[in-house]
Amino acid sequence: MESDFVLKVKNLNVILDHQSIIESLSFEVKRGDALTILGPNGAGKSVLLRTLLGLIPHGGEIEWAKAIKIGYVPQRLPFIKDIPLNIEDFFNLKGAPEKEIEAILNSVGFTEDFSRKKIGDLSSGQFQRVLIAWGLVGNPQVLLFDEPMTGVDITAEETIYNLLAKLKEDMDLTILLVTHDLSVVYKFSTNVICLNRQPICYGPPQEVLTPESLQKLYGGGIRYYQHKH
Amino acid sequence: MDTQFLLSLVVGVSVGGVGGFLGSLMLGRRMALVAGPLGHLALPGIALALMYGFDVSLGAFPFVILGIVLIWLFEMRTKLPVEALTAIVFASGVAIAFLLLPIKQAEAALVGDITKVSFAEATVSVILTLLLFCVVKNIYSKIVLIHISEELAKSEKIDIRKYNLVYLGSIAIIVALGVKMVGGLLTAALVAIPASSSRNVSRNLTQYALGAMIIGMISSSMGIWLYKITGFPAGSLIILVNATIFLISLIFKR
């Protein structure tokens, strides 16, 4: 693979429980790109991320750049509050050394001795930042995010987007982000995949997010507004 | 202090401690109650052991293993929740037990009898619990991550099947040892209550796991000591001490 590319996907097909979830999807991701995967609920977005991570069997080709380090931030961790974990414990599950934990928590905006705080006592925005920090352990070159704004209030959403944009710059990250939020796509991404089991559009958002493609993606009734940045 | 009492105490402390430690893992995925059905499932094995005069743990173990293998296979085949599958398997175990179990010996099978443990049985129990402690300590963080999210664990290249198998095997051993102490009916309490009490007062994982182990040890030794004073069944007393500690922990709940 040419050094500029971190990921090439050709003709990807995923079938789960005899049902086709992703059909004939092809795309490429270059170093430093922010690719958003946009689509309605049940469109196969999260399945795509998990497939890219090698967690789900698939047809077609997924080619990552050699020796690439990938960090993953899942959508939800519903069972985490069943266990009395503090933040340090959570990072220890990944074998992160204490100094790295401190540095990473600082990089996502936590100061002082935050690592002793119990996970169950965090606000949804704080928890999301902890998850992002967890994804950054081991210094990955690529970060995969599954709906990072789920359950987060609007103020925290803004903070998290700004944080992602800053991390991307500071750490020279390539980001793949699943969302169903259109505003994220315009603010954040260099490319977008519109996915509703089949690929609907792919390219820079300003070019490919047309009223027609959005209508096809979400069905009728969607209001379209193009951000001019 | 008489030797028999000392032997019971050593077995009680080791099985209670490791049961609590393992229980702190089981509580994480609401698995604690699984030990109960597995304890019930051990009843046919206990019945056979009592009828033919061999060690109840030895009788219980193959039945617990059989139950776990069945649950494992059913889960892969059906994707039903483990709790549901366990309920199916355990009901069958209890039904078989009551076909075999002589009524006179029912009490020992249902609430255990640690007070007649022999030196050889005590030695085997202590060695097994020490080994089990090392295994559980080794898999602890991986199982916690699997409990939090299987896909997160998979993304960290953790072999979930392998760890779950070791984990279930550990549960089988502690259940087999636990039935001798508290009987088939009360095994769930041996793993669930110390962990629940510890969770009430813990602020981190180390406090939680260590707390569950210490509470397991204290409740077992106190239960056996109370048996010595009162003559009531030790298994029941161990669980009642555990329940009392749980009630006290509610006062200090964090």
Q: Which residue has the higher pLDDT, B72 or B137?
A: B137
Q: Do A80 and B148 touch (CB under 8 A)?
A: yes
B155 touches chain A (CB under 8 A): yes
Reported pTM:
0.83
Give bridge partners of residue A5 from the DSSP assignment. Answer: A30
CB nearest B151 (choices: A50, A80, A85): A50
Contact check, Cβ <8 Å, A84/B145: no
Tokens of A74: 């899942």
- Residue B16 CB contacts under 8 Å (≥ 6 apart), including other chains: B181, B190, B194, B216, B217, B219, B220, B221, B238
Identify which of A175, A15, A122, A93 has the alpha carbon closest to the alpha carbon of residue B205: A93
- A214-223, B51-60, B244-253, range with the lowest pLDDT: A214-223
Asked if the Cβ–Cβ distance from B205 to A82 is below 8 Å, we say: no
The two structure tokens encoding residue B188 = 């769930």
Confidence of residue B21 (pLDDT cuts 50, 70, 90): very high
Encode pLDDT of B122-151 as tens digits. Answer: 999 999 999 999 999 999 999 999 988 888
What are the chain A neighbours of B154 within 8 Å (beta carbons)? 53, 55
A1-68+183-229: in CATH 3.30.70 = no
Preferred mutation among A83, A89, A144 to probe B, highest tally of B CBs within 10 A: A83
Task: Report, as an integer, the average pLDDT of B189-210.
Answer: 92
Partner-chain contact B144 A85, CB within 8 Å: yes
Q: Where are the domains of chain B?
A: 3-251
What is the complex's ipTM, to 2 decimals? 0.81
Per-residue pLDDT tens for A74-99? 877 878 888 899 999 999 998 888 88
**B204 closest CB neighbour out of A55, A74, A85:** A85
Q: Per the CATH hierarchy, to which homologous superfamily does domain B3-251 belong? A: ABC transporter involved in vitamin B12 uptake, BtuC (1.10.3470.10)
Q: Which sequence spans correspond to the domains of chain A?
A: 1-68+183-229
CA B189 to chain CA centroid, nearest Å = 8
Question: In this complex, do A93 and B141 lie within 8 Å of one another by their Cβ atoms?
Answer: yes
Mean pLDDT of B31-37: 64
The answer to whether the CB atoms of B149 and A77 lie below 8 A apart is yes
Tens digits of residue pLDDT in B209-218: 999 999 999 9
Q: Element (H or E) spanning A62, and its range? A: strand A59-64
Q: Is A181 on the interface with B (CB under 8 A)?
A: no
Highest mean pLDDT among A156-160, A201-205, B48-52: A201-205
Predicted confidence band of residue B53 (pLDDT cuts 50, 70, 90): confident
Is residue B151 within 8 Å of residue A50, measured between CB atoms? yes
Confidence at residue A229, expressed as pLDDT on a 0 to 100 scale: 45
**HEC assignment per residue over chain B:** CCHHHHHHHHHHHHHHHHHHHHHHHHHHHCCHHHHHHHHHHCHHHHHHHHHHCCCHHHHHHHHHHHHHHHHHHHHHHHCCCHHHHHHHHHHHHHHHHHHHCCHHHHHHHHHCCHHHCCHHHHHHHHHHHHHHHHHHHHHHHHHHHHHHCHHHHHHCCCCHHHHHHHHHHHHHHHHHHHHHHHHHHHHHHHHHHHHHHHHHHCCCHHHHHHHHHHHHHHHHHHHHHHHHHHCCCHHHHHHHHHHHHHHHHHHCCC
Q: By C-alpha distance, which of B224, B247, B226 is closest to B14?
A: B224
Q: Does B161 touch chain A (CB under 8 A)?
A: no
pLDDT at B126: 94
Chain B contact present for A75, CB below 8 A: no
Other CB atoms within 10 A of residue B222 CB: 19
Answer with the residue of higher pLDDT: B70 or A112.
B70
pLDDT for position A152: 65
